[in-house]
Amino acid sequence: MNNNFSNETRELFIWNYSCFLCGKSHANCLHHILGRISNSPLNASHLGNFECHIGNGKLNTFDVQSMLLKKTLSYLKTNDYNLTKEDKKFMKKYERYYK
């Protein structure tokens, strides 16, 4: 995974193989859901790079971004991730996506 996410963020997803977009067992990249505005794990979506990530214009739609943000939050909560101050600011700033 070659992006601006920290090693700590990458490690949160290391044992997950399910693509957050299609559900298939081919997740092998982290996608910045809302672009490179934040490197918070909340802005990361585990996707299949060639099948669901590269060239997929649907990733830029509000509905898909909202769905991915919610899936990521659920995934992190399920894995006992503790939200940081930065994460809480991110959620507050982009709360419309979580409704």
pLDDT at 1 over 60: no
**What is the per-residue pLDDT for 39?**
85
pLDDT tens-place string over residues 25-50: 999 999 999 999 988 999 999 999 99
pLDDT tens-place string over residues 43-96: 999 999 999 999 998 999 999 999 999 999 999 999 999 999 999 999 999 999
Rounded distance, CA 71 to CA 92, Å? 17
Rounded distance, CA 8 to CA 57, Å? 28
Under the banding of pLDDT at 50, 70 and 90, the label for residue 4 is: confident
Torsional class of 49: left (φ above 0), alpha (ψ -120 to 50), beta (otherwise): alpha
**What is the per-residue pLDDT for 65?**
98
Of 1-5, 8-12, 94-98, the range with the lowest mean pLDDT is 1-5
